[in-house]
């Protein structure tokens, strides 16, 4: 039967349903990530971000919420140049964070 | 003490008797017996005076909220309803619809804040019809009236909201509707934060109210959300959010306060089941959805088929069996004069054969 519409998914963030396993594991391995203030300096300086919509701040936010869909493709845009690490005011090892997230999401290259 | 004082702020004055009654436009289509049951309860069971005028019209609220009816027009229409009340010699105005209740409340508040708009409405009404009106002394929704007399109904109860087999209270989900108390919280019993108008009935009649997380969430009616077909995916998603939130509590029934909400909470269960194969009641079936008049009618021992409960999308028989209500399955599809009105095809949500 055609209804002429489908049921829209709610855009709310349901932390009870999201799988926080990888998120917790990343925080355990890189505790300094707790100190991120989401200032966006990493995005502002990002060479990839200048040419694409890649945003480490967005990736980080989604990972912390337990929302991993499509993140591996996003992270594969990163050239691991490390400029984000140089400008991070909290001194977070962002290259290690990116590599760890990729590994936990299944990229073992 | 402080808590009691605070709770007083969430109460409203409800008249004891002598009501002027106006109906809903839409609910007789899908809950056809509710308004008649309301009048029967008040007139015959409680011995109260309720006046109804056949010449009253729609409040035009649906058109107003859909940006079709202008504010000046709806004010003149509301003024005419009040004029009918005044001509009949009544002062307590009661509305059978939450949308209308919100409209009447909004317009009375507008007239209070901007008296020139009241003068304009009076002038428009007089020029169009020659009528004049007094503003109601007391304005209430019909659920307020049932709430007000709930203990008298409890004294006459033939059935209670209790599982007759286990003796456990039935678990009831209430939904009071956005326009009942979100527009003007002080005009609703319990305001929008602590909805008590239906919960009070359920408490008095033996059931347990479920305070589930999305209890105060909109059903999704939203007028334009629903009237435009392309937006209905958003509309149904709101009801689905509520169903998903209430399902873990295993409710025995849903009771709606508002015509549109009751319709959607009943019929969207069918839609969701047809589209996604998901149901939220026992045995992968729907959750029976009642109006508060139907709930009061069952408590008072009214025949469910006389109340039009065969028109529900979700079958009510599982609830009737739990309450121990006697009913004749053969009467379900008989009309007023005992004439067979036809049996619709079974919906999968009622037969669990998806």
- Does residue B280 share a domain with residue B238? yes
Q: Is B51 helix (H, G, I), strand (E, B) or coil?
A: strand
Ordered alpha helix ranges (H), chain A:
21-29, 41-45, 47-51, 56-65, 71-75, 83-87, 94-104
A16 → chain B, closest CA residue: B245
**Separation between Cα atoms, residue B82 and residue B73, nearest integer Å:** 14
The residues with which B326 forms a beta bridge, in sequence order, are: none
Q: Is residue B93 assigned to a domain? A: yes
Name beta bridge partners: B52.
Answer: B21
B326 with B224, same domain: the answer is yes
Which residues neighbour A101 within 8 Å (Cβ) at sequence distance 6 or greater?
A22, A26, A59, A63, A71, A75
Based on the fold, state whether residues B21 and B114 are members of the same structural domain. yes
Q: In Å, what is the CA distance from B122 to each residue of A51, B91, B128? A: 65, 17, 10
Identify the weakest region by mean pLDDT among A5-14, B102-111, B131-140.
A5-14
Provide the shortest C-alpha distance from residue B229 to chain A (in Å): 7
Tell me which of A5, A12, A13 to substitute to probe the interface with B (most B C-beta atoms closer than 10 Å).
Answer: A5
CATH number, domain of B26, equals 1.20.1050.140
B182 close contact with A: CB closer than 8 A: no
- The shortest C-alpha distance from B193 to chain A (Å) reads 21
What are the φ and ψ backbone dihedral angles of B31, each rounded to 5 degrees? -130, 70
Q: Does B98 lie in the same domain as B172?
A: no
Range of the domain at B56: 15-142
The B residues from 225 to 254 touching A (CB cutoff 8 Å) are 229-234, 236-237, 240-241
Q: Say how far apart CA A28 and CA A24 lie, in whole Å.
A: 6
Mutation site for A-interface testing, chosen from B233, B245, B273, B349 by largest number of A Cβ within 10 Å: B233
- Residue B129 and residue B168 share a domain: no
Whether the predicted pLDDT of B7 surpasses 80: no
Query: Within 13 Å, how many C-alpha atoms sit on residue B220's CB side?
Result: 26
Enter the tokens of residue B245: 């939130």
Q: Highest mean pLDDT: which of A51-65, B1-15, B214-228, B333-347?
A: A51-65
Determine the residue of chain A that is closest to B233 in CA distance: A7
Whole-angstrom CA distances from B300 to A18, A35, A51, B46 are 46, 63, 71, 11
- In the predicted model, what is the mean pLDDT of chain A? 92
The domain at A21-104 falls in which architecture? Orthogonal Bundle (1.10)
Chain B residues closer than 8 Å to A1 by CB:
274
The answer on B298 and B204 residing in a single domain is yes
**Residue in the block written with tokens 């909805």:** B195
**Dihedrals φ, ψ of B99, to 5°?**
-60, -50
CATH of the domain at B328: 3.40.50.11810
First to last CA, chain B: 54
| End residue of a domain, out of B122, B142, B162 | B142
Nearest of B255, B333, B267 to residue B294 by alpha carbon? B255
Residue B119 covered by a domain = yes
Kindly state whether residues B195 and B340 are assigned to the same domain: yes
Is residue B79's pLDDT more than 60?
A: yes
Task: For residue B354, name the pLDDT band (cuts at 50, 70, 90).
Answer: very low
Query: Which of A6, A7, A9, A16 would best serve as a mutation to test chain B binding (most B beta carbons within 10 A)?
Result: A7
Of the two residues B286 and B345, the one the predictor is more confident about is: B286
B-chain CB neighbours of A4 within 8 Å are: 229-230, 232
> What average pLDDT does the segment B22-43 reach?
93
Co-location of B209 and B332 in the same domain: yes
pLDDT at residue A19 is higher than 60:
yes
Write down which residue in B92, B112, B142 finishes a domain: B142
pLDDT exceeds 60 at position B329: yes
Contacts of A5 in chain B (CB under 8 A): 229-233, 236
Residues B187 and B335 in one domain: yes
Q: Which residues numbered 267-306 in B keep a CB inside 8 Å of some CB on A?
A: 271-272, 274-276
Q: Is the pLDDT of residue B1 over 70?
A: no
pLDDT over threshold 80, residue B310: yes
B162 belongs to a structural domain: yes
Q: Could you tell me which residues of chain A have a Cβ less than 8 Å from any Cβ in chain B?
A: 1, 3-10
- Residues B117, B176, single domain; the answer is no
Closest B-chain CA to A12: B241
User: How many separate domains does chain B show?
Assistant: 2
B137 and B194, same structural domain?
A: no
pLDDT of residue B190: 92
Cβ of A7 within 8 Å of Cβ of B276? The answer is yes
- Residues A71-109 pLDDT 10s: 999 999 999 999 999 999 999 999 999 999 999 998 755
pLDDT value for B28: 87
Whether B293 and B50 have beta carbons less than 8 Å apart is answered as no
Confidence of residue B353 (pLDDT cuts 50, 70, 90): low
Q: Which of A1, A5, A7 faces B230 most closely, judged by CB atoms?
A: A5
Whether B61 and B174 share a structural domain: no
Quick one: pLDDT band at residue A17, thresholds 50, 70, 90? Answer: confident
pLDDT digits (tens, 9 = 90+) for B186-223: 899 998 889 999 999 999 999 999 999 999 999 998 88
Q: How far apart are CA A81 and CA A46, in angstroms?
A: 9
CA distance A69 to chain B (A): 22
**Is A13 a residue whose pLDDT tops 90?**
no
The Cα-based distances of B62 to B27, B67, B257, B322 in angstroms read 13, 9, 17, 37
Q: Residue B306: name the closest of B283, B325, B288, B282 by CA.
A: B325
Q: Spell out the alpha helix ranges (H) of chain B.
A: 2-8, 27-30, 34-40, 61-65, 71-88, 98-113, 115-129, 142-148, 150-155, 178-181, 197-204, 224-227, 232-246, 259-276, 292-299, 317-323, 348-351
Chain B: nearest CA to A12, how far in angstroms?
Answer: 10
Listed residue (B122, B109, B41) closest to B299, CA to CA: B41
Specify the pLDDT at position B279: 95
Chain B residue with the nearest C-alpha to that of A9? B237
Radius of gyration of chain B from its Cα atoms, rounded to whole angstroms: 20
Among candidates B229, B272, B276 on the partner chain, residue whose Cβ is nearest the Cβ of A5: B229
Residue B17 has pLDDT above 80, yes or no: yes
Instruction: Sketch the domain layout of chain A as residue ranges.
Output: 21-104
* Cα–Cα distance measured from residue B213 to residue B216, given in angstroms and rounded to the nearest whole number: 8
């Amino acid at each position: 039967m055609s209804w002429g519409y489908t049921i829209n998914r709610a855009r709310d963030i349901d932390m009870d349903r999201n799988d926080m396993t990888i998120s917790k594991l990343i925080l355990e391995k890189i505790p300094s990530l707790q100190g991120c203030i989401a200032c966006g300096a990493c995005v502002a300086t990002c060479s990839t971000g200048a040419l694409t919509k890649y945003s480490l701040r967005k990736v980080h936010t989604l990972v912390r919420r337990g929302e991993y869909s499509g993140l591996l493709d996003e992270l594969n845009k990163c050239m691991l140049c490390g400029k984000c690490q140089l400008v991070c005011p909290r001194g977070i090892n962002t290259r290690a964070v990116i590599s760890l997230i990729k590994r936990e999401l299944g990229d073992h290259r | 003490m402080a808590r009691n004082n605070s709770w007083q702020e969430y109460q409203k004055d409800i008249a004891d008797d002598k009501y002027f009654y106006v109906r809903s436009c839409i609910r007789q289509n899908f809950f056809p017996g509710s308004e008649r049951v309301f009048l029967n309860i008040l007139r015959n069971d409680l011995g109260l005076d309720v006046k109804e005028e056949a010449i009253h019209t729609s409040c035009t609220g649906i058109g107003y909220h859909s940006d079709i009816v202008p504010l000046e027009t709806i004010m003149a229409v509301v003024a005419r309803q009040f004029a009918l009340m005044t001509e009949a010699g009544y002062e307590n105005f009661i509305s059978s619809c939450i949308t209308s209740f919100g409209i009447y409340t909004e317009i009375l508040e507008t007239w209070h804040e901007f008296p020139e708009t009241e003068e304009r409405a009076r002038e428009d009404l007089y020029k169009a019809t020659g009528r004049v009106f007094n503003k109601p002394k007391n304005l209430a929704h019909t659920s307020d009236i049932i709430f007000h007399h709930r203990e008298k109904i409890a004294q006459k109860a033939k059935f209670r909201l209790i599982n007759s087999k286990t003796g456990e209270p039935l678990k009831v989900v209430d939904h009071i509707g956005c326009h009942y108390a979100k527009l003007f919280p002080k005009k609703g019993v319990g305001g929008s934060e602590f909805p008590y108008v239906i919960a009070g009935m359920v408490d008095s009649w033996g059931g347990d109210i479920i305070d589930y997380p999305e209890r105060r969430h909109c059903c999704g009616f939203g007028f334009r959300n629903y009237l435009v077909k392309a937006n209905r995916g958003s509309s149904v998603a709101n009801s689905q959010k509520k169903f998903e939130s209430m399902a873990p509590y295993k409710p025995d029934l849903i009771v709606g306060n508002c015509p549109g909400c009751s319709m959607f909470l009943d019929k969207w269960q069918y839609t969701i089941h047809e589209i996604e194969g998901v149901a939220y009641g026992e045995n992968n079936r729907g959750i029976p959805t009642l109006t508060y008049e139907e709930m009061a009618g069952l408590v008072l021992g009214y025949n469910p088929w006389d109340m039009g409960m065969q028109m529900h999308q979700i079958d009510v028989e599982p609830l009737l069996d739990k309450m121990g209500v006697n009913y004749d399955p053969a009467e379900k599809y008989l009309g007023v004069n005992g004439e067979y009105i036809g049996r619709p095809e079974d919906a999968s949500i009622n037969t669990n054969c998806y």
